[in-house]
Structure 1
């Protein structure tokens, strides 16, 4: 991610995740919280690997990552995650997948993460 895109994301997500300093500790800067979240999402590193890279405690990351992800989804869902509302829009989306990827009768896909699926009873080799 280039610097300008990072600043734009920081500007849009920042107000939703702003933290205040407390008497006993200072809040982590927003840019650092966003950078840790992006590294985690991009590389899939464990919390322990991120500890050495950013020197932020494990328990802090456990609370911070879902919060930043939720704020990002909340900010961008209207633009990026629009869902078709009419039957024609669903058909157009399926036609796009057919044309571009040769996946017929498909309207979406997941990529980049392993999704564990439990085989149903008598599922056989389909799973």
Structure 2
């Protein structure tokens, strides 16, 4: 079946966004990683662009590392070191832009204002919830990641604003922990207990 002009326009737009996003991440990641392995007489170094492309493909598709080994002509063992390395670099350069916890009362007030306007929920400073992700049982972990549904999982606790933008993420807690247990140990709880939000104005409203 032939695609109409609108469908083709959507495809072109998606490809353009992917390309621009890839180039942006490549530039940021290259800036972060100033020193890469140099070319030698025996082999060429793996460029930042190749490392980034491989990592994004792995994250987007979930392909096995054996499959990526054939596609990129990079050894399985090296892929296993590239992926976490690039993920760490991306997190380091993007977290302050795309996952920044408000640090001033005015920034928190802006979050509350957006919730009030978009969701009719006044004085809300974020939506907080936990999510459990299936994982392959880590070696020598016993029952540490085994949860109440009889699966091995890690837990993510996340705070988002009214536009679904992440403000805070705590990930990696063992599956056997309860949501209350994860909250009890997370930095956000400590932040709130230190009364960091004492200067925020609470606008009381009445429907009567």
The TM-score with structure 2 as length reference comes to 0.45
Distance in 2, Cα, partners of 1:10 & 1:30: 7
User: Matched residue of 1:69: which SS?
Assistant: helix
Distance in 2, Cα, partners of 1:63 & 1:85: 34
Distance in 2, Cα, partners of 1:78 & 1:106: 18
Residue 76 of structure 1 is matched in structure 2 by 94
User: As a proportion of its length, which structure holds more strand?
Assistant: 2
Cα displacement (A) at 1:49: 1.9
Residue 118 of structure 1 is matched in structure 2 by 176
User: Matched residue of 1:2: which SS?
Assistant: helix
Which structure exhibits the higher relative contact order, with contacts defined as CA atoms closer than 8 Å and separated by 6 or more residues? 1
Aligned length: 115
User: As a proportion of its length, which structure holds more helix?
Assistant: 1
Distance in 1, Cα, partners of 2:102 & 2:88: 22
Cα displacement (A) at 1:30: 1.8
- Cα gap change, 1:84/1:27 in structure 2, threshold over 3 Å: closer, same or farther? same
* Structure 2 portions without partners, runs of 5+: 1-16, 136-152, 154-174, 179-208
Distance in 1, Cα, partners of 2:119 & 2:68: 40
Please give the per-residue CA displacement for 1:54-77, whole angstroms capped at 9, x wherever unaligned: 221111111111111111111111
Distance in 2, Cα, partners of 1:23 & 1:108: 53
Counterpart mapping for 1:1-127 below 5 A: 2-17=18-33, 18-19=35-36, 20-85=38-103, 89=108, 92=112, 95=115, 99=119, 107-108=127-128, 114=134, 116=153, 117-118=175-176
Q: Which runs of 4+ in 1 moved over 6 A?
A: none
- Cα gap change, 1:80/1:69 in structure 2, threshold over 3 Å: closer, same or farther? same
